[in-house]
Amino acid sequence: MDQPARYTIKVKGHLDKTWADWFDGLSITNRENGEAVIEGRIADQSALHGVLNRISDLGLTLVSVDVGTDDE
């Protein structure tokens, strides 16, 4: 089903926190290992594809996408 869920997306490289607006307000955390974590509630699969397209547009390497429930 196409329901809201909380996603944790990891990419190689660091992102400035000002990119959060470009990622629809998702939070951005840069880790010491050189990865950035983009996380938050994503409304549906279409919105998820939009976030993944933005990651691709920036030329970032996707490390992982993890999904949890919206109430986590």
pLDDT score recorded for residue 22: 85
What does the alpha-carbon distance between residue 9 and residue 58 come to, in Å, rounded to a whole number? 14
User: 5-68 has which CATH code?
Assistant: 3.30.70.600
pLDDT score recorded for residue 69: 65
pLDDT score recorded for residue 61: 97
Residue in 54, 13, 58 with CA at minimum distance from that of residue 36: 13
pLDDT tens digits, one per residue of 3-27 = 889 999 999 999 988 888 888 889 9
What does the alpha-carbon distance between residue 68 and residue 72 come to, in Å, rounded to a whole number? 7
pLDDT score recorded for residue 70: 56
Q: Where are the alpha helices (DSSP H) in 2-66?
A: 45-57
pLDDT tens digits, one per residue of 23-72 = 888 999 999 999 999 999 999 999 999 999 999 999 999 999 999 865 54
Contact 9, 68 (CB under 8 A): no
59 or 2, higher pLDDT: 59
- Please provide residue 43's backbone torsions phi and psi, each rounded to the nearest 5 degrees: -65, -40
